[in-house]
Structure 1
Amino acid sequence: MNANTPTDPRAAQALVEALRRHLQARHGDVPLIETHISWVLLAGAHAYKLKKPLRLDFLDFSTLARRRAACADELRLNRRLAPSVYLGVVPIRAGPRGPSLHGRGLVVEVAVKMRRFAPRALASERLADGRLTAADLAAFGQALAAFHARAAVTPAGSDWGSAGRVRAAALQAAAGLAAQIGPALGAPLHDWLEAQAGLLQAHWRARRAGARVREGHGDLHLDNLVWMDEALIAFDCLEFDPALRWIDVASDAGFLLMDLMARGRADLGFAFLDAWLEYGGDHDAIQGLRFQLVYRATVRALVTALRGGHAAGAPGHAAYVALARRLMAPTRPALLITHGLPASGKSWLARELLQRAGAIRLRSDVERKRLAGLAPLADSRASDVSGDLYTASSTAATYGHLAARARAILAAGWPVIVDAAFLRRGERERFAALAAAAGARFSILDCHAPMAVLRARIAARRARADDASEADESVLELLAARQEPLTGAERARAIRVRSDETVDLDSVQDAWLGAGRDALGDPPAP
């Protein structure tokens, strides 16, 4: 058999059926899953994925040599995120009783060998039956940020991720969708994407120059996430078209956020995004995030419309179009700053609100460390900058950094929560002026709890060592003595919360964004 000779599709189908019988003799029932480009045989604890001998506009698996190369690519790419799932590329050999995974016969096909998992382990299934949590998505956001940090940067000389490519891909998807659903619904998406593509040219050039176009996953939605080994793991990376995975890392993150929003769980999506931003520090991505969300929603609407249906519980094309249209509508920006002593509940409340409201959080404890080159959970006392991290100049630099980030995010049309102590009047006034200049609604989340509660929380937090804050009891006492209370004018804009009592988060959100509204002008998430 010549590995470079095109394979007869009928012979390939017969080989798969014969291999299935061979596996059934060893494992009993062997379900066969068929997609438009592959077959997957589920045998015992493993799955074997074979490429169909196809030649399409976007891939060529027509020969054994090409399928072997594609399997090797699939293994390499997916082991970056799912090494426990992708086990190897195995030969399928001819034998006296038909094709086999054993023996020494002629290699007639190849397959990717994977660890098998139950369908209910998919993130989409876990979401449907209530087993997917904000903590799960936050942990995955942290893992994805680490993956993006080590992923390969787009090669010199390529145009992957360029402004021209991004624009062309978006407009092609919008045109295809309009052809499926009609111009009345499709044309507004096309026009909005085209207009935004013009405005974002400089942003995309800066992203490429800043090494933010990398070899990502490319197809990051809930059906490609699996719960395994007590964590969410991404699998099924796009291997057949490099242009679909050599993308702005914000496109990877935006795909998953969009999918959760389309499924009615924006709260989980923003829990994921918050962690991705906190551990990756890529707040510059926010400028183009709304475009990425509308583009990804347009693509999924097109795919769903072309298929003519969707799985039970999954969004249909109308849901994706509706989400895109809501994302296109401008909303009034809003800025919320926290105020309170260490352990007064600022970060907990900020986290709850950002998930419910669809906001971007900037956390001083994290950004202070980032400016010093430290990871969020790093202990500064064990570093070279321990004596400089909490000086007056460091604090001034941190608040300046937070202000610059907040200004840019407000300009991009997203509500912002700045999670910091804001114990000095001048710091609060600076952000009030920033909000006024941006035309943003401004509020102060005024957090309180008895000193005994604060001391107990600080002791417990330091024992866990799972938080970016490094304040101890001595810091608490010092700040309590030096804090500058809210003025009368500030109290009029403040939302006072006792964090040691039951907090009505609906009321807090309404007081900030307006009754019954989130970042898109919609009712709050469940």
Structure 2
Amino acid sequence: MIAFLGRHEGEGGGRCDHVETHGAHVFLQGDTALKIKKAVRYDYLDFTALETRERMLRRELDLNRPGAPQIYRDVVAVTRDGDRLELDGPGAPVEWVLRMWRFPKENELSAVAARGELSDALADDLGRAIADYHADAPLREGDGADRIQAIIEELETAFGAMGDELGGSEADAFITMTKAEFGRVAALLRERAAGGHLRRCHGDLHLHNLVLIDGRPVLFDALEFDEELGTCDVLYDLAFLVMDLLNRGLGRQANIVLNAWLHTNGGRQDEGLAALPLFVALRAGIRAMVAVQTGAGEREEVRAQARGYLETGLAALEPCEARLVAIGGMSGSGKSTIGRRLAPQIGRMPGAVHLRSDLERKSLAGVAPKDRLPESAYTAAASDAVYDRLAARAAAVLATGQSVILDATFLTPVERTHARDLAAQAGVPFTGIWLDAPVEALTRRVDAREGDASDADASVVRKQVEKDTGPIDWQRVEASGDREIVAKAVWERIVSAGGSSPAGSRDD
């Protein structure tokens, strides 16, 4: 079978590349990819029967084709006619093949990230694409807490025999911390399952299973062999990717993905962030376990990989006090740029939730982030609604233990006072930052914007400058210079503001 498929003539011709995984053979030739399941049995799957292999390939097609029609084509039989094998011939099936369109290996997001090309814009697109995927994912019934408890118990059993590879004290600390965290959020997990957040998800959402097609991120290769494993909280599904990015040192991208996913969900997932540390840790623990179990490579290499995952999981569980940072200033002062730059460094992993007034205004208006609103949408009542929404979301996020950056003009004393009061009500430290820049610099920046959620132009800036902002008691930072220098100055103000220090130095 391997020899036959290795000789198959795909569209475009050329050499056939054979890729082997623990459960499949994939043959790549020209524009075509052919995949067969191995006739193997593991603790978690059994592909020894031909009927099972066919069913799993058809399930893989059904799961993936709706979201990735550019990749998934059909399932066909390898048939036998005498001594000759044929693809989709008239004879009896002897194997089943998932036929796909091939994509360039270098377009996998794991390769894109390795080249240092996982940009802010791509990370933002990725978070939105995953949110859209989850919105269409079928609802499932079940106990969200029982599922997570079973994972912890499985890891505890496995880690008990992996002390040499993982480090006995680290593995013990991981299990102790995950159990404590589970006790804290178990009721929330049950509420989320009852509230529609338990779905038939992707199940294997990491960078190797994401690809760029026509410049857009596409999810593929969803977990097909176990419906129980594929059914989970949508935030647990996302946590796999967040963990993968963190483990690769891509904390900035992890933060952007999370923020884009949260915004696309319209705030409906904010309360779930209380479970994010546990979810990220468990995803890391599973990868550590699998690294040891599969044991691909030299022993020291396997040990380093497994311990690296365990360290990521322990870091996600590290306690860190939440805080609220508000960044104000005229349009064009750089609030959103600075907010995005600093969000990964503030609070627990993967950083602060960055709430932008521009994005919330578009959400309230029911338009896409980059759609321009008419001037009539910028009434006093509309602005009040935007600030109310910012406050509501910030309160919900802070209650989960995640830090928040509020990004708005804050042109009035009342707006600035409300931000400070919000932190006081949540019982978290507050830092108010005001970005100053000459009007010439502000107008130059807004005129140069492209593809941004802000609708402000030079005329808006001039109107803002003419307003009486009243006394500003926030920490003022001169913001007309280089953005990196400005970001460093703002960071220094945040660190020196008192209260619990944010989780700095995580500058990826």
Q: Is the 8 A contact 2:25 2:36 kept in 1?
A: yes
Deviations 1:448-503 (A, max 9, x none): 33323433444444xx4x3332334554344333342443xx24xx1513145454
The one-letter code sitting in structure 2 at the alignment partner of 1:279 is T
**1:93 is aligned to 2:79:** yes
Structure 1 residues 177 and 506, CA gap change in structure 2 (3 angstroms): farther
- Residue of structure 2 aligned with 1:202, choices 159, 184, 187: 187
Q: Is the 8 A contact 2:78 2:89 kept in 1?
A: no
Distance 1:189 1:334 in 2: 25
Q: Is the 8 A contact 2:345 2:503 kept in 1?
A: no
- Residue of structure 1 aligned with 2:287, choices 300, 309, 321: 300
Distance 1:96 1:22 in 2: 18
Give ranges in structure 1 of 5+ residues lacking alignment: 1-14
**1:497 is aligned to 2:486:** no
Residue aligned with 2:81, SS:
coil
Structure 1 residues 430 and 313, CA gap change in structure 2 (3 angstroms): farther
Residue aligned with 2:25, SS:
strand
User: 1:283 aligns to what?
Assistant: 270
Post-superposition shift, 1:134?
2.4
Post-superposition shift, 1:185?
1.9
Residue aligned with 1:100, SS:
strand
Residue aligned with 1:75, SS:
helix
Structure 1 residues 503 and 265, CA gap change in structure 2 (3 angstroms): closer
User: 1:123 aligns to what?
Assistant: 109
User: 1:10 aligns to what?
Assistant: none
Structure 1 residues 391 and 202, CA gap change in structure 2 (3 angstroms): farther
Post-superposition shift, 1:402?
1.9
**1:377 is aligned to 2:366:** no
User: 1:260 aligns to what?
Assistant: 245
**1:228 is aligned to 2:228:** no
Q: How does 1:91-490 map to 2 (within 5 A)?
A: 91-96=77-82, 98-154=84-140, 158-159=141-142, 162-181=144-163, 183-281=168-266, 282-309=269-296, 316-357=305-346, 358-381=351-374, 389-461=377-449, 464=450, 466-487=451-472, 490=473
Q: Is the 8 A contact 1:263 1:314 kept in 2?
A: no
The one-letter code sitting in structure 1 at the alignment partner of 2:322 is P
Structure 1 residues 22 and 373, CA gap change in structure 2 (3 angstroms): closer
Deviations 1:415-436 (A, max 9, x none): 2111111111122122223324
Distance 2:287 2:61 in 1: 25
Distance 2:441 2:172 in 1: 56
Post-superposition shift, 1:238?
0.3
The one-letter code sitting in structure 2 at the alignment partner of 1:362 is L
The one-letter code sitting in structure 1 at the alignment partner of 2:453 is A
Post-superposition shift, 1:221?
1.0
Q: Is the 8 A contact 1:453 1:500 kept in 2?
A: no
TM-score, normalising length: structure 1 = 0.85
TM-score, normalising length: structure 2 = 0.88
Post-superposition shift, 1:71?
1.0
Distance 2:129 2:85 in 1: 40
**1:72 is aligned to 2:58:** yes
Post-superposition shift, 1:439?
4.5
Post-superposition shift, 1:511?
2.7
Deviations 1:108-166 (A, max 9, x none): 21111122234333322222232332222211112112222222222xxx31x622112
Structure 1 residues 310 and 334, CA gap change in structure 2 (3 angstroms): farther
Q: Is the 8 A contact 1:81 1:147 kept in 2?
A: yes
Residue aligned with 1:200, SS:
helix
Q: Is the 8 A contact 1:128 1:313 kept in 2?
A: no
Post-superposition shift, 1:262?
0.8
Distance 1:509 1:100 in 2: 65
Give ranges in structure 2 of 5+ residues lacking alignment: none
Q: Is the 8 A contact 1:93 1:108 kept in 2?
A: yes
Distance 1:122 1:314 in 2: 26
Distance 2:159 2:100 in 1: 34
> How many residue pairs end up in the alignment?
493
Post-superposition shift, 1:99?
1.7
The one-letter code sitting in structure 2 at the alignment partner of 1:167 is Q
Q: Is the 8 A contact 1:304 1:310 kept in 2?
A: no
Q: Is the 8 A contact 1:277 1:283 kept in 2?
A: yes
Superposed CA RMSD = 2.9
Deviations 1:223-274 (A, max 9, x none): 2222332233222110111122222111122111111111111112112222
Post-superposition shift, 1:300?
1.0
Distance 2:157 2:425 in 1: 38
The one-letter code sitting in structure 1 at the alignment partner of 2:187 is A
